[in-house]
Every structure is written in C-alpha cells, then in structure tokens.
A and B are shown apart, each in its own frame.
Chain A
Amino acid sequence: MSPEFLDRFSRGNTICHRLPVRLKIVLTLAAILAAALIPISAWPVHGCLACVLFAAHSVAEIPVAYLVRRVGFVMPLVCGLAFAVPLGDGLANALPAAAAIAVRSVLSLLAGLWLVNVTPFDRLLAGLQRCGMPRGIAAMLAFMYRYTFVVFDELAKMRAARRARTFSSRGAWREWSAAAQLLGRLLIRSLDRAERIHSAMCARGWDGRIRALE
C-alpha cells in the first residue's frame, strides 16, 4: 500500500476540484453534521444524503471501487464500535442503534473522503487555517502528511529487506512476531528522524513559532 492511496484523486481537474476550498470545507462539514444529527428514524433523509454523496464522488471522477476499498479499510473499527457501544442498553435495542452508528459513520467517512480527494492537501490546510484552525494544528497535520510518504517508503524497504532473506514460510506466529519487530524498528527510526528534523529546523532559525507565507 502506498500513502498516495489516501488522496489519490486530489489533483484532478473536475468541477469539484475547482470549487473554492472553503466552500468545500463548509459543504463537507454540513454533510457530516446532517449524517450525525438527523434522527435515524428519518431514514429517507439519510438515503438522500447517501445519493448526494455518491453523486458528488462521481462528478469528481472518484471510482466506486476505490471508495469501497477505502471504506472497507475502516469497517472493522466502525463495526466494532457499532456493536460494542449499544450493548450497554440491552440486546433488544442494540440492533437499530448499531445500524444507526454504522450508517452515520459511513456517510461521514464518504463526505471526508470526498473532501480530501477533491482538494490537494496543502490547499486544504490553507483553507482550514482561513476557517480558523490554529497554526499549530495545521503544522502538525502538514508534518504528518509530509512524513507519511517517507515512513511508508521506509516500511516498504524494511519489508523488502526482510523478504529477501526469508526463504520459507515459518508459520503464522513467526510472521506476526517478525512484523511486530519491524514496526518496533520503524518507531525507533522515526524517533531518530524526528530528532534530525528538529535539528534541521533549528539550523534554519526556527524559534518555536510557526510562520507561513500568506
């Protein structure tokens, strides 16, 4: 998997891509709020919202297969929540509540996916800042985005290096423990890298304040 997967279609050129960034942010927030707040008994409204979202994705030329895979990625989490949370109320009410959580999550996710796939990330961050997001948060997100690519690269190299010296499958347990070690090494390497990045920032006069070119 490559991190490009996160926002593969963000540099397209459809009408959705050309809309003003702040308008897109407001539309997305509105869709998420609607998905979260409208009572689930008004299910036709949710159905309409789903149709609108799918239409928006198709206008932006984002393929359905991509959406399915992307939503599938977070489904374990959504399902876990959907079934764990309502169990407190007893089994009788659990099923409708679980369905409500699942529907709301998937709709919100679709709205968010639309936003990141019709706006290049740096422009999205600039838009969010103009909507009042604090600079510190924007800087953190920018770092996250920048180094997602580097960390994924590093992970791919480490996995290739391991595969190059793995001559036969040694059972699932060994595989999992090797994967855990790999992730541990990746964490340590990332911490080292964070230190070097801090040095590089200091070397160019960083004093703890984040400045941006407006």
Chain B
Amino acid sequence: MPSSSLAPILRVDRLSYCYPGSHPALRDVSFELGLNESIGLVGPNGAGKTTLLLHLNGLLPGELGAAAPRRQSAADRRDSGGSVITSDVARGATIEVLGMPVTAATLPEVRRVVGFLFQNPDDQLFCSTVLDDVAFGPLNLGFPADEVRRRVANCLAAVGLAGLEGRGTHELSFGERRRVCLAGVLACEPSLLALDEPSSNLDPRARRGFIEVLRQCPAAKIIASHDLELVLELCTRVVVLDQGRLQADGNAHDVLSDDNLMQSHGLEVPLSIRYGQRLAEPGK
C-alpha cells in the first residue's frame, strides 16, 4: 500500500453498513489514507461511495447487523447534534481519524478534522447569507467574532469569491453555491476533506476553476466522483468500490488504465489515458 510509510490520517478497518430495511451498502471495507494523500473513490451508482464518506464524519449510525453489537451506554450513544449513534465498533469494525476512533465521544473532534462537502449545495447552504453560512463552522468551533470574520474573508478569497459576504445564498449561481460550500468547509481548517461529487453539474469553466481551488487546498482529500479525469488530476491513489466492496486499491494511473477492471465495475478508462494525451502528470 503506498501510504504505509506515513502515519495514516484515516484508517478504515472492516467497515460494514446496512441501511435499515435494505441490502448491505458497505461490506468489509478496509483502507488507509496517509497525511496529505489524495485518494479517489470511484464506482458505479449505488456502490456505497456516499455511505462510506458519511461514516468518516460520524454522520451515519453504524448498525452493523445481527452479530451481537457491543453496547455503548445510552449517554455515549447520543451525539451532541441530537441523533443517536449506535456503535461503529461492533464486530470489530473501526474508523480512526488521526488515530482517534470515531465514536460518540470523539465526534466533535472528528468533525473538526474531517470537512465534508455534500453533493447538493442546497443541502449544505442553509443560512440565508453567504457570511452567515461560511461563519457557521468557525462559530460552532467557538472562535471570537473577529477571528471568524478573518476566516470567512480568507476562505471566500481562497475559493475566488472575495467580498461576497453580504449576498443571499439563493441569489448565487450553482457554481458559486458550490464554492461557498467549500469555503464553509475550509473555514473549519480541516485536515481531511471528504468531497462527494465535487464536479457534478458544473459547467466546464466552473469545473476547471473548482479543480484548481481543490488543488490549492493543502488538506488530505478523499474524492468520490464519476468524473474520472478529475480523479486522475487530483489523486495519487484510487479505490474502486462496487456493491459495497472494495474491488481495487492502487496507484491512480494504474487502476484507471485497467480496461477490464473499469468495464466490470461500470466505469471506463479516462479518455486522456486511452488516447495517451495525459492532461497532467498523475499524482500532481
């Protein structure tokens, strides 16, 4: 595994998950992510990509099937946001972020370390002005007002939207909304970015701009996407997920250029590889 020499920022070990009343969404998924590593999470629709990302932030209660889950105390199971977390440590499955197991007790710290960009900006932009929305995270982290304002200004500048604080979130274009979402995540200064379909529904110019913004972010990244060219540009490593199982894990270029592997999991070799016109060096 390419990350073994570095201390992992994320370790997922034998994670399984089943949505209530549905078939298993994740089965026995294990992988590690090194500091400053960027990993692409690819696979067909319904492969479990979003489910996996939600686990990294402790957003899904891990009900881990019939095999006698280890009980936590009632106080432990209630996370601070009010939802009930059942044990993720059942059946020996663990998720560790910077060495901390993701449990109800560590959730505030885990959510500070892991920044989550949701697929639909309208789900994430819940405040009526850009300023309030980007300030939401830092305020929850308890920073004083002037530090919050500084962070908001910096993060809006980082995503190329400096000075948009006063705008209403419903007045923005789709691309701007996604950038504001990213600014809101960056304002918490996460060490790991979990990005769910960061380029979906963007026009080519907005997509290009967004890729460049992501490239500038120093945080480690885990990017779930169908946009394999984006994955190839931003990620050193690729994990293929299908039917809830890890199907492949390796160097981005090697995995994405494996025609048989791609075809059998509803993917295709990116055109830039197929035609030998690589847009960028892999891993840069």
A207 with B116: CB separation less than 8 A: no
User: Is B170 in contact with chain A by the CB < 8 A criterion?
Assistant: yes
- Complexed CA–CA distance, A204 and B81 (Å): 10
Shortest Cβ gap from A11 to chain B (Å):
9
* Contact residues of B between 63 and 96, Cβ < 8 Å to A: 79-83
Question: How far is A197 from B80 in the complex, measured between Cα atoms in Å?
Answer: 16
Residues of chain B at interface, number, CB under 8 A: 41
Docked Cα-Cα span, A49 to B132, in Å, equals: 38
Contact with B along A138-181 (1 / 0, CB 8 A): 00001101110110000000000000000000000000000000
Is there a chain B Cβ closer than 8 Å to A200's Cβ?
A: yes
Residue of B with least CB distance to A147: B126
Is A132 in the interface zone, CB < 8 Å from B?
no
Q: Is the CB of B126 within 8 A of A146?
A: yes
**Does any Cβ of A come within 8 Å of B184's Cβ?**
yes
Within 8 A of A (CB), among B95-126: 108, 111-112, 114-116, 118, 120, 122-126
Q: Are B136 and A196 in contact (CB under 8 A)?
A: no
Q: Which residues of B contact A200 (CB under 8 A)?
A: 116, 118, 123-124, 126
Given contacts A146-B170, A149-B170, A200-B118, is CB(A205)–CB(B140) below 8 Å? Answer: yes
A197 pairs with B116, CB closer than 8 A: no
Do most interface residues of chain A lie in helix, strand or loop, or is the interface mixed? helix
A145 to chain B, nearest CB (A): 6
Q: Name which of B141-149, B154-162, B255-263, B271-279 contacts chain A.
A: B141-149
A211 in contact with B83 given A196-B123, A197-B126, A200-B124 (CB within 8 Å): no
**Residues of A with C-beta under 8 A to B214:** none
**CB of A208 within 8 A of chain B?**
yes
Complex interface: chain B residues within 8 A of A121 (CB):
128
Q: Which residues of the partner chain A approach B114 to less than 8 Å between Cβ atoms?
A: 203
- A214 and B82 CA atoms in complex are apart in Å by 26
- B188 close to A197 (CB less than 8 A): no
Across the interface, A146 reaches (CB within 8 A) one of B82, B116, B169, B185, namely: B169
Q: Cβ of A204 and Cβ of B137 under 8 Å apart?
A: yes
* Least distance between B79 CB and chain A CB atoms (Å): 7
- Which A residue's beta carbon lies closest to that of B120? A196
A206 and B59 CA atoms in complex are apart in Å by: 12
CB < 8 Å: which of A142, A196, A202, A208 contacts B111? A202
Partner of B59, one of A142, A199, A211: A199
A198 to B188, CA, bound (A): 18
Q: Are A211 and B139 in contact (CB under 8 A)?
A: yes
Provide the residues of chain A in CB contact with B185, threshold 8 Å: 204
Q: Check B243 for interface membership: any CB of A closer than 8 A.
A: no
Complex Cα gap A188–B61 (Å): 21
Question: Are A196 and B81 in contact, CB atoms less than 8 angstroms apart?
Answer: no
Q: Which residues of A contact B79 (CB under 8 A)?
A: 202
B127 at interface by CB-CB < 8 Å:
yes
CB <8 Å contact, A205 and B126: no
Q: How far is the CA of A150 from the CA of B137 in the complex (A)?
A: 22
Contacting residue for A207 out of B123, B140, B148, B170, CB 8 A: B140
Point out the residues of chain B lying under 8 angstroms from A199, CB to CB: 54, 59, 118, 123
Within 8 A of A (CB), among B175-223: 184-185, 188
B128's contact among A146, A196, A203, A206, by CB below 8 Å, is which? Answer: A146
Q: Which of A203, A208, A213 contacts B132 (CB 8 A)?
A: A213
Supply 22 A–B pairs (Cβ within 8 Å), ascending by A. A142-B128, A146-B169, A150-B122, A193-B122, A197-B126, A199-B59, A200-B124, A200-B126, A201-B81, A202-B79, A203-B111, A203-B114, A204-B136, A205-B111, A206-B140, A207-B80, A207-B140, A208-B81, A212-B132, A212-B139, A213-B135, A213-B149
The list of the 7 closest CB pairs from A to B, nearest first, reads: A205-B140, A204-B137, A202-B81, A207-B80, A211-B139, A203-B116, A196-B123
Binding site for B on A (CB under 8 A): 121-122, 142-143, 145-147, 149-150, 193, 196-208, 211-214
Given contacts A122-B168, A146-B169, 6 further A-B contacts (CB under 8 A): A122-B132, A204-B185, A204-B188, A207-B81, A208-B81, A214-B145
